[in-house]
Structure 1
Amino acid sequence: MPETAFQRISSLSRLPSALRGGVVAIGNFDGVHRGHQAVLQRALDEAQARGVPALVLTFEPHPRTVFRPDLPLFRLTPAPIRARLLEFLGFDAVIEQAFTKQFAGLSADEFVRGVLVDGLGIVHVVTGFDFHFGHNRQGGPAYLMEKGEELGFGVALVDAFRDEAAEIVSSSRIRELLKKGEVAQAAGLLGYRFTVEAEVTGGKRLGRTLGFPTANMALPASAELRHGIYAVRLRRADGTLHDGVANFGRRPTVDEDGAPLLETFVFDFSADLYGETCAVSLFGFLRGEEKFDSLDALVEQMKRDDAEARALLAGVRPLSALDAAIAF
């Protein structure tokens, strides 16, 4: 294994020679959920057994945004967060292959020879059982195994991962849970608490006048997270963690026509976070967003939310080593 820092690589031409000849896991891996982790762990095991680099080949932007630009995609893990998760898992690098219509037009043979063999020089590839590639998805598992035998690399296919209820874990299933505010159930499928990341921006400072100053973060317009109040943990750029309670929504009591914002009240904290990129992990959904008759009524409810979030966060434990690395 190369003793170098984890790398995000945007082009095969920039792949260091020390990372050639490795094991590669291929997929979009949006969410890096427990199903993805089964594929990724197999790749890590294969790389360790061979003493070669462990790589991930993924695609940016998500292919669906290229084929269906009219249909916004709720990305569970934008590229920077996905890369961080892959680093935590133990990979040496992620190759974020530019996904364009030209790239999508490559034949299955061109993908195998140009990307896997010439570009990465792989010795082994790991994918999910239903992986398809090449123009019109002409390449599949059987084709990949045939090419592996012809060109000298191994292939491992990983079956669909099912949860404790025997249901397949998928990114689309997790998205639906988050749309309903069911963040605890989503965390069970992810294997870690769902986390968003953005720059803290200035607001109207109304929260400060009410005794609840907030760190405001604009999430992508495609983030279909349920509007409401969440118990959260905020990680600053310096790595320090702070518990808090957050509102995601339009703030109907004070600014009904505003764009959705994630506003986090950080407990027992007074430092200035403006301009800092922070991550917020969601631990529990407390209630839906409401419109109150007065600011006094809003403040009283915020005090109850504060107490409920503190109680919830006091008893949380890591779901996994990955969860511990992200939110503990």
Structure 2
Amino acid sequence: MDQSTFLLKSLEEMPQAWRGAVVAIGNFDGMHEGHQAVLAAAEAEAQHLSVPTIILTFEPHPRSFFAPQTPLFRLTPAVLKASVAAAHGISGMLVARFDAAFAETEAEDFVRSVLVERLAARHVVTGYDFHFGHRRKGTPEFLKRQGVLNSFGVTVVEKHGDEAGAISSSRIREALGEGRVEEARELLGWDWSLVGRVVEGDRRGRDLGFPTANMVLDPACALAHGIYAVRYTRPDGSVHDGVASFGRRPTFDDGAPRLETFIFDFDGDLYGEMGLVSLIGWIRGEEKFGSVDALVERMNVDAEEARKILAARPLHDLDRKIAAAWPEAERQAEEAGLA
């Protein structure tokens, strides 16, 4: 599937051409190696049946709906899920809005109204731990029985893991919370990325010789505060090397966390643009310096270290495809009110 044909739609706006598709269902927060095993199984079945492959996912994340008082560090909001799906050649992604009415839907009603009547699914693929419907009564075994009763096939993908156990979004959150971006990449299969709009800062970086693209992230983002080697993708699809700081700027104001990215060898106006920042390597934790001169000296060292990390890590094929898919996924997410 050509990435340019990928579509991101709400469940209510589903294209008629997707009726009879193979449907991969899940929350897919992280789109990690385990989730990609689900996508691969769905793609294999779709090729056998000569039908499209689509993802059905949920926004907001059900955990955020049921426990709004407990912040959830989202790994892949809709636009990133769509970007990774497009990079894998999936035809499109449907988003079901998870609200009070949806939460009350019985598992049998979900199968009948969504999978059978709306989607006319030929085959459904889920992970081993996926549950759905009111009180999570829709187990993988339940789904298999419903497939027999309603004439659609079902594949349940077994646990995908390594020597430390099952690959999970929780493990990835823990790794990122401690700055272990290389470990997160091993679990994800791609460089974890953040999406944000470039906002006006205090222009302090420009005065220091390091003009930055500043983004205010979701307050629930639990990424470790520190300095990272990064790649920055603009809406035109161009990818640039850089170094980024995520934190509170303790040398100056110790304010609200902000992502500040210095793009190497770039001179342009990014204000108001959306950007994709991919974390490639960890350099150090956030520090408070005794003087501005000491900070600038260390920033120069950080920039050189970032250049070395990036030179040793050329873009992998999947990361290249995600960067290429992101601008269109972002446009469609905004259009659908999901960005």
TM-score (norm: length of structure 1): 0.95
Task: Tell me, yes or no, if the aligned pair for 1:2 and 1:19 is still in contact at 8 Å.
Answer: no
Q: Distance in 2 between matches of 1:145 and 1:306?
A: 53
Task: Tell me, yes or no, if the aligned pair for 1:2 and 1:53 is still in contact at 8 Å.
Answer: no
One-letter amino acid matched to 1:253 = T
1:306 equivalent in alignment to 2:303: yes
DSSP-derived class of the 1:268 partner: coil
One-letter amino acid matched to 1:246 = A
One-letter amino acid matched to 2:211 = P
Shift of 1:132: 1.6
Structure 2 residue runs of 5 or longer lacking an equivalent are 325-339
User: In structure 2, what is the equivalent of residue 323 of structure 1?
Assistant: 319
CA gap 1:253/1:230 in 2 versus in 1, 3 angstroms = same
Kindly provide the CA deviation profile for residues 58-89 of structure 1, in whole angstroms up to 9, marking residues without a partner as x: 00100001110111110001111111111111
Kindly provide the CA deviation profile for residues 11-54 of structure 1, in whole angstroms up to 9, marking residues without a partner as x: 33x22211100100000001100000001110011111111111
Task: Tell me, yes or no, if the aligned pair for 1:281 and 1:327 is still in contact at 8 Å.
Answer: no
Task: Tell me, yes or no, if the aligned pair for 1:24 and 1:126 is still in contact at 8 Å.
Answer: yes
User: In structure 2, what is the equivalent of residue 273 of structure 1?
Assistant: 270
User: In structure 2, what is the equivalent of residue 296 of structure 1?
Assistant: 293
Shift of 1:317: 3.4
Q: Distance in 2 between matches of 1:146 and 1:31?
A: 29
Shift of 1:103: 0.8
One-letter amino acid matched to 1:11 = L
Higher RCO (C-alpha under 8 Å, 6+ residues apart): 2
Q: What's the Cα RMSD here?
A: 1.6
User: In structure 1, what is the equivalent of residue 248 of structure 2?
Assistant: 250
Match of 1:207 among 201, 205, 208: 205
User: In structure 2, what is the equivalent of residue 81 of structure 1?
Assistant: 80
Q: Distance in 1 between matches of 2:4 and 2:240?
A: 31
Q: Distance in 2 between matches of 1:3 and 1:247?
A: 31
1:128 equivalent in alignment to 2:124: no
Aligned 1:118-267 pairs, distance under 5 A: 118-163=117-162, 165=163, 167-256=165-254, 258-267=255-264
Task: Tell me, yes or no, if the aligned pair for 1:193 and 1:327 is still in contact at 8 Å.
Answer: no
| Percent sequence identity over aligned pairs | 54
User: In structure 2, what is the equivalent of residue 7 of structure 1?
Assistant: 7
Task: Tell me, yes or no, if the aligned pair for 1:30 and 1:171 is still in contact at 8 Å.
Answer: yes
DSSP-derived class of the 2:267 partner: coil
User: In structure 2, what is the equivalent of residue 115 of structure 1?
Assistant: 114
Q: Distance in 1 between matches of 2:153 and 2:164?
A: 29
User: In structure 1, what is the equivalent of residue 335 of structure 2?
Assistant: none
CA gap 1:82/1:3 in 2 versus in 1, 3 angstroms = closer
Task: Tell me, yes or no, if the aligned pair for 2:229 and 2:281 is still in contact at 8 Å.
Answer: yes
Q: Distance in 1 between matches of 2:2 and 2:188?
A: 29
Aligned residues: 324
TM-score (norm: length of structure 2): 0.92
Shift of 1:137: 1.3
